[in-house]
Structure 1
Amino acid sequence: MSRSFDELVAEAEAVSVDGWDFSWLDGRATEQRPSWGYQRAMGARVARASAVLDLETGGGEVLAGSTPTLAPLTVATESWPPNLAKATRLLHPLGAAVVATDDTSPLPFADQAFDLVVSRHPVTTRWSEIARVLRHGGCYFSQQVGPASVFEIVEFFLGPQSERVRNIRHPDAARREAEAAGLIVADLRSESLRTEFFDIGAVVYFLRKVVWMVPGFTVDQYRDRLRELHELIQTEGPFVAHTARFLIEARKPPIGTVGTN
C-alpha cells in the first residue's frame, strides 16, 4: 500500500539534514556516479601527500572515507555550524583538525602551507586563496557541481531559467579562473548523470539539504506544487533529472617555472 502525500512529506521534513551524507535517500532516489570515482582518486592523492587541506568538508564524510590513513598534517574547513560539529566529531579521532571559516575571509593559513587541497562540491571556489596556500608543485583536486545540474527539479518549482543562470558553474569558467590565479589545469572533464526521485519525500529531503537549488524552499510555500509532483510520480513513475558534475585538477607550477617566483 502506497504511503500518502502527507506522510511522505512529514517524514522528510522531520529528518535531520546535517552533514553531507545522503544515505537517507537509499531506496528513495538514485544518482548515477561519475566515471572517475572522486573519493577513491582523492584518497590516492591524500595517501601520497604530507599536508592536506579539505575545503568545505561538510560533515567530513568524504575525507574520512577517502583513505585508511590521513596525511600527517590534515586540516578541514567548514562554515555551517551543524556540519562543523559533525565534521569535528568524525575527523578529530582520525587526527585531522577542523577549522571554522566563512566564504569571504582569507583562508586562515600561511602561504604555501599545503601540497594538496581538495574539495568535493564546493559552494564557491576561491582560486586566488587556493593558489596562495598551495606549495609550488602542489595540486588542487576537486569534483564540482556543473551548470544546470538537476534543473528539471529547479524549473519544476521556479519555472524556466535564463541561459545566464543555466551556465553558472561552467567548467570552462573554472579553467579560466584557475589559470588567472596562476595554476595550470592538468585535468578537466565533465559528465551528465541520470538522477531519479521515487517519491515526494525524496524531493523534499533533497531540497532541504541542497539549499541553493530552490532558495528559501519550505514545504508550506511549495505545498501545492509538491502535491502536483507527488501525483505525477504516482501516475508516471520516478521523476527523472540530470546531475552535472565536473572534475578539475590544477597544479601550482614548481619554482623555476616561467611565471613563478
Structure 2
Amino acid sequence: MRTKRINYFDMVINKHEVYNVYEVKRILKPNDIFVTHQVGGKNNESLSKRLIKNFSSQYSYINFNYVSDELKRNSFEILYKNEYFTYLRFYDIGALVYFAKIIQWEFPGFSVDTCFDELLKIHEEFQNNTYIESLEHRFIIACKNIKR
C-alpha cells in the first residue's frame, strides 16, 4: 500500500521484497528504523549452475555490503548487519524439480525436458547419497533514517 504521507512511519520492516530506498526514506520518520531481511545473490547459485546450462546470475552482486553501502549513500546509519549462508537439503528428485519450477528467477528456463540430462546426473547422486545440498544466502540490515 502506497501512502502519500511523508515522515509517517516509526519503523519499516521488509522481508524478501524489493524496495525503493528513496520511498523508504520518504515515508520513514527522521531517526527511525528500517529493517530488511533479504535473499542474497548467491542463493542457490551452485544448484542453478548444475541444472541450467550456461547459467549466469543476474543477482550475484546483491549482498549485505552492497545494500548497506546503498543505504549509507542515502543517509541511513547502519545499526546492525549480518550475512549468513545455510544449507537446504533435497531428499528426492521430485522435491528438487518442484523447487526449481516455482523459483523461476533462480532457475530461468527450467523444465524437466530442458534439464533432463542434468536431472539424471543428480538422480544418480541420490542413489549414493541421502540428500543433495544447495547453499542458501541471507542477510539482514537494521538502520536509522538520518534526514538531511
Give the TM-score normalised by structure 2. Answer: 0.85
Q: How does 1:178-257 map to 2 (within 5 A)?
A: 178-253=71-146
Partner Cα distance (2:121, 2:112) in 1: 13
Partner Cα distance (1:108, 1:190) in 2: 31
Residues 52 and 109 in structure 2, CA contact (< 8 A), matched pair in contact too: no
CA RMSD after TM alignment = 2.2
What is aligned with 1:72?
none
| Aligned pairs, number | 148
Offset, 1:250 = 1.4
Q: Which segments of structure 1 move beyond 6 Å, counting only runs of 4 or more?
A: none
Change (3 A) 1:251 1:152: same
What is aligned with 1:111?
6
Q: Which has the higher contact order (CA 8 A, sep 6+)?
A: 2
Offset, 1:161 = 5.8
The AA in structure 2 aligned to 1:219 is: V
Residues 52 and 115 in structure 2, CA contact (< 8 A), matched pair in contact too: no
What is aligned with 1:141?
35
Q: Percent identity, aligned pairs only?
A: 23
Which structure has greater strand proportion? 2
SS of residue matched to 2:37:
strand
Give the TM-score normalised by structure 1. Answer: 0.51
Partner Cα distance (1:108, 1:166) in 2: 29
Partner Cα distance (1:228, 1:170) in 2: 31
